[in-house]
Chain A
Amino acid sequence: MLKNYIKIAWRNIWNNKGYTFLNIFGLAIGITCAALILLWIDNEMSYNEYFADYEDIYTIKNTQTYGDETFVFEATPGPLAELMRNEIPGIGNVSRSASSESLFSHEEKNIHQTGKYVEPEFFEIFELKFIQGDPSTAFHDLHSIVVTESMARKFFGSGDVLNKTLRLNQGQSYVITAVIEDLPENISPRFRFSWLSPFKNYENANEWLQGWNNAIQTYVKPEANADIVSLNETLYGFIQTKLEDSESHLSLYPMDRWRLYNEFDKNGLEKEGIFKYVRLFGIIAGIILIIACINFMNLATARSEKRAREIGVRKVLGAQRKMLIVQFLSESVLLAFLATLLSIALIYIFLPPFNDLVNKQLILDLSDPLHLGALLMITIISGIFAGSFPSYYLSSFNPVKVIKGIKSKSSSAAFIRKGLVVFQFSISIILIIATVLVYQQINHVKNRDLGYDNEGLVFLPANENIKKNFQAISNELISSGAANELSLSGHTPVNIGSNGGGFQWPGKDPENDVLVSMESVSPSYIKTSGMELISGQDFNPNVEANESQVIINETLAKMIDKENAVGKVITRGDSQATVRGVVKDFVYNNIFGNETSPLILYPSSQDFNHLVINIDPDKRSTAVSAIERVMEKYNPGYPTELIYADEKLEEFMSNENMVGKLAAIFAGLAIIISCLGLFGLAAFTAERRIKEIGIRKVLGASVGRITTLLSVDFMKLVLISCLIAFPLAWWFARNWLENYPYRIDISIWIFVVAGLLAFLIAFFTVSFQALKAALTNPINNLRTE
């Protein structure tokens, strides 16, 4: 029986190659899209699974509330780990950890590598795969280092590396005590490392770790039977048992949520991070698959009249409805299988560009039962879904009527068909609007006035050489005309790292603590950055003359004194400083934010990580080579890895960029698939009305008239789609934009453009068929015998 079905199905497919191709191609695009997104989702969901017990591993989060806003950091004080070990029963293994990007050297090779200073218990918490050496001995000596296989290869090629040494930051040599397997790509980016070295090294170099600054990470793997809820209760007030008025409340944050969540709202409550994209793209991939299945439904039911006779005869000969349903379903599943075969080829073709887009190395592995199974599932589900309505509809034909040639008006099927087309186009239009909107928002942020010279700024990680020779470097670059101005700073503006509470000033309510960001700068910082001083004075070029003086931003100035904050004294604990000047608010950290948080720029002589250079954006390449030359002289042996402020800004929009690109792709696919369907439907309509067209032509209708006649019904559907899509798109747009306080207004032009685009594309698709029909010689279709 099944063989008979498949035979018939095959003949049907073969005899209607055109329609079959449209169906298979549309379905294949849908399946390809769904498969690529599933691969991406699978990858996102598998983050950190590398560590088998990742559900039982935690980092410590630090929640602090200032006014009505709560902040969540992953930063803890230096003494915490030891106190936890001693005082919290059941806490299990605890390790401090500090990340560092450091320069390693071996012979001629100087390479920056990111790694961590950790305690030996780190190896108990994270089960790493040791290729050489073992965890128990890896940290026996202070100057030992564990490296990943690929880091080892970068320096030593394929040779044995155990007991070889690497120089760190052109100073101390470290002995390689173990080699571990590279971490896979699906590890939280901030956790990734290429090397590990004893925390003691970091502690020795940073005395402030003895204090209570929140600056390092603490990882925990509680004992197997530990009660996490009660551990969290203990941790919540733990810091306060040491430091009475601390704002810090600690909690355990599990590794299985590091990737997909790890964002927190104004109340400090966890919200979805990447996960919202996982869900969004999952839904969209599903919708694209549905759009592709709709093509099948529409073409199958539209062509039903042609098959009515077959169905009638089968029924007269005794076929039951159930059998017919099975027959039609096997046809659609067979078709879905053919589509899947095609889509496997498409997946292989489109995986590399897709990987570039999402910045991953996804692979399709057909020998992996998960991949094969998922593909089979998609095939069968879409086959059955696509065949559901047609089989139900076709099998309902009344055999007597059908054989007598009485055409049922089949208005229900036609109505559903129109509804499905409207669905397809509504989705397409929404996606077009989404694409335009995301790009507008990205551009809006890119072009916003940041309050500093984003195009002209270049950063270079500052080491001792650079700090020591700053004046000479500065003089040389400015006098040669390569740079306009130079300064030193702690961070780049998109990433100002330190903040804290506990500040007081005259007239401040002592109960209401304010979180203030702090950035250490050298005297020329404001000029170099191109920021605007709105009152008071800039720093004195002589560093010493700035003793206990700070420049604050407008927001903080308004908090201190609405009229004039200059000259006011800010205190924190034992230290105090006088406001020397007020800088116009510039955008830092939160580039999508509308309000600026309070900020203090304080002069420092040491506390710097970045050299800031202001160059002419038009003369970038000559400036860069001049900088490289000067650096070779003052900072030999270090690679000059410049960071451009505008590129750094782009990095912070990478999620938005990805969403924008994916939205564009989804919109394109939705439109392509919908148009394939429309193309088929238009062909079918032209075919069905071919006699009418002939009559009209004989009666004198022009080609233009007939084309319009055939197109107008479809155009009406697109119009209805617009009416449905616009309010929905507007609603989605408003919701999405709410994530960005600094945002565009939704302009009606987006809707006009999206509607017109859909309209034009649909019109070309349909009018092609209509024109073809209008141009055929009518007598071919009016033959009477």
Chain B
Amino acid sequence: MIKITNLEKFYKTEEVQTLALNKLSFEVKEGEFVAIMGPSGSGKSTLLNILGMLDDSDGGSFLFNGEEVSDYNERKRAHLRKHNIGFVFQSFNLIDELSVFENVELPLIYTGIKLAERKEKVHSVLEKMQIMHRRNHFPQQLSGGQQQRVAVARAVVNNPKIILADEPTGNLDSSTGNEVMDLLCELNEAGTTIVMVTHSEHDARFSHRIIRMLDGQKVTENLNVLV
């Protein structure tokens, strides 16, 4: 599903040039659950942004379902992203001014789905995430775990092929963190590919495979013993 080879990314600030990704290569197969680990600043978020087509790479190749994405223009990438990728962030990134329902509904609006169908899809996903009773609340009225569940609901409402999650439990205590991890596992079992960045060894154990990074490079890649 995803294949990157020798991926590179620089950040140029006024004087320093940071090499955020340094000839990084790996592959993610359809249906896999991959965890990416590494210390802060090792390039995990950068990688995830590129995989999510939110950012350009500066070198190397990125095949998504066999298509070379690195030289796609913004419009094509937006199209691919809209239909294939769901995001979950550490800080939830819900829109404060919109209710739970409206937040989850957004991706459907942007892919041009009709109102009746939207309602149905949102309701079913909210039910699945057990957050239906909160659908008219606003993000600030929810606990962290509930907010992240809304964020996950929003990520999956469009039935994406792959979910990219950047430290989804980073802002949660361990029990609510576990709930979110269970959610992701369920989704994975239902067939969704998941790439998750995490600091937590505990969370990483839910995955099939762990890729460890340091200074923009892959250091190890091993199959998860528990699986």
Contact = CB atoms under 8 A, between A and B. Distances in A.
Interface stretch (B105-113, B121-129, B210-218): B105-113
A213 B49 CA distance: 97
Contacts of B91: 784
Contacts of A541: none
A409 to B, nearest CB: 10
Interface in A767-785: 777-779, 782-785
Interface in B176-192: none
Given A698-B87, A784-B166, A777 B54 contact: yes
B97 interface: yes
Interface string B47-91: 001001011000000000000000000000010011000010111
Contact of A700 (B89, B95, B111): B111
Contact of A782 (B93, B96, B106, B167): B93
Interface in A683-729: 691-692, 694-696, 698-702, 705
A784 B110 contact: no
Contacts of B110: 696, 699-702, 705
Interface in B31-45: 40, 45
B118 interface: no
Interface in A580-630: none
B78 A700 contact: yes
B93 A696 contact: no
A785 B39 CA distance: 13
Contacts of A779: 49, 54-55
A641 B52 CA distance: 82
**In the complex, which range does the number of interface residues on chain B fall in?**
20 to 34
Nearest to A781: B93
B191 to A, nearest CB: 21
Contacts of B106: 696, 699, 701
Contacts of B97: 692
Contact of B107 (A699, A777, A782): A699
Nearest to B53: A698
Q: Output the residue of B55, B110, B170 with the most chain A CB within 10 A.
A: B110
Nearest to A694: B93
B167 A784 contact: yes
A694 B55 CA distance: 13
B149 interface: no
B209 interface: no
A705 B78 CA distance: 13
A691 B54 CA distance: 14
Nearest to A778: B54
A700 B52 CA distance: 12
Contacts of B167: 784
Contacts of A783: 45
A247 B78 CA distance: 89
A738 B110 CA distance: 55
A692, A696, A699, most chain B CB atoms within 10 A: A699
Contacts of A692: 95-97
Nearest to A695: B93
Contacts of B94: 695
Contacts of B89: 782, 784
Given A700-B82, A702-B110, A705-B110, A695 B95 contact: yes
A692 B139 CA distance: 13
Given A782-B89, A784-B90, A784-B166, A702 B78 contact: yes
Contact of A785 (B40, B52, B55): B40
B121 to A, nearest CB: 14
Contact of A691 (B52, B81, B93, B111): B93
A777 B166 contact: no
A710 to B, nearest CB: 13
Contacts of B54: 698, 777-779
A695 B90 CA distance: 13
Contacts of A702: 78, 110
Contact of A777 (B55, B111, B170): B55
A694 B93 CA distance: 9
Nearest to B91: A784
B41 to A, nearest CB: 9
Given A777-B54, A777-B55, A778-B54, A699 B90 contact: no
B111 A696 contact: no
Interface string A50-64: 000000000000000
Contacts of A705: 110
A699 B78 CA distance: 9
A695 B82 CA distance: 12
Contacts of A694: 93
Contacts of B154: 699
B107 A700 contact: yes
A588 B170 CA distance: 88
Most buried by A among B40, B95, B167, B170: B95
A784 B167 CA distance: 10
Contacts of B81: 698, 700
Interface string A365-396: 00000000000000000000000000000000
Contacts of A695: 93-95
Contacts of B55: 777, 779
A741 to B, nearest CB: 56
Contacts of A699: 82, 87, 106-107, 110, 154
B47 to A, nearest CB: 12
A633 B97 CA distance: 88
A702 B79 CA distance: 10
Contacts of B45: 783-784
B68 to A, nearest CB: 21
Q: Which of A694, A695, A782 has the most CB of B within 10 A?
A: A695
Nearest to B106: A699
Contacts of A696: 95, 106, 110
A777 B49 CA distance: 11
Contacts of A700: 78, 81-82, 107, 110-111
Contacts of B96: 692
A783 B45 CA distance: 9
Interface string B13-30: 000000000000000000
A646 to B, nearest CB: 60
A408 to B, nearest CB: 13
Nearest to B95: A692
A773 to B, nearest CB: 15
B46 to A, nearest CB: 9
A698 B110 CA distance: 10
A700 B106 CA distance: 9
A443 B167 CA distance: 71
A692 B90 CA distance: 15
A784 B45 CA distance: 9
Contacts of B166: 784
Interface string B144-163: 00000000001000000000
A603 B186 CA distance: 111
A701 B79 CA distance: 10
A763 B154 CA distance: 32
Interface in A733-785: 777-779, 782-785
Which of B93, B111, B166 has the largest count of A CB atoms less than 10 A from its CB?
Answer: B93
Interface string A662-697: 000000000000000000000000000001101110
B140 to A, nearest CB: 9
Contacts of A777: 54-55
8 contacts: A692-B96, A695-B93, A698-B52, A698-B87, A699-B106, A700-B82, A701-B110, A784-B91
User: Sorted from nearest, which 9 A-B pairs have the closest CB atoms?
Assistant: A700-B82, A700-B110, A784-B90, A779-B54, A699-B107, A784-B91, A695-B93, A692-B95, A779-B49
Interface of B: 40, 45, 49, 52, 54-55, 78, 81-82, 87, 89-91, 93-97, 106-107, 110-111, 154, 166-167, 170
Given A696-B95, A700-B107, A784-B90, 17 more contacts: A691-B93, A695-B95, A696-B106, A698-B87, A699-B87, A699-B110, A699-B154, A700-B78, A701-B110, A702-B78, A702-B110, A705-B110, A777-B55, A782-B93, A783-B45, A784-B91, A784-B170
